Amino acid sequence: MQKMTASFVLLVVLQLSVQAQNRRMVLSVPDSVGMKVQEHIIGILTTTDKKDFYCLLEADTGQTFRLTVFAFDPDCPPNPWVDLAHGVLLVNDRQIPLLFDYDFWFGTFLKEPPSDYGRQEQPIFKVLSLTDSYIIYFKKEGNILGVEQW
């Protein structure tokens, strides 16, 4: 009986551990920004074959932010970071993978972790993705400062 109980507890702990690793933090932007994102997504869905999206959130200052929305064809993933995104942006019932500016500054795709600091033998390569995008500049409180389409 003890072995059965211990096995059950181990199974539950492993299941919770796997679920925790697969979960992403859900983030919400101010309502005015979310409405702009939603309008852009609806426009893309009705005019192109691109049906998937990801976002990049950058902090210009502690009060000013830039949210870039990228559209892509699901058959041609945009870059490997989308699958590794730590968060999702919730826009209505759509969960959009959300990357942060520091992902591009400090992230790496090395298959092996870098060696100890001071003894690194290989350079750490950075990746920057340049695609069609929709950029919303906004204040933390939700004031839209501007919009750009690339």
pLDDT tens by residue, the chain, 150 residues: 555 444 333 333 334 333 344 578 898 899 999 999 999 999 988 888 778 899 999 998 888 999 999 988 777 766 677 887 889 998 888 899 999 988 877 776 666 666 666 666 555 555 555 567 899 999 999 999 999 988
Which among 76, 130, 131, 84 has a CA at the least distance from the CA of 107? 84
Its pTM stands at 0.74
pLDDT of residue 11: 36
- Count Cβ atoms below 10 Å from residue 69 Cβ, excluding itself: 22
pLDDT at position 131, please? 65
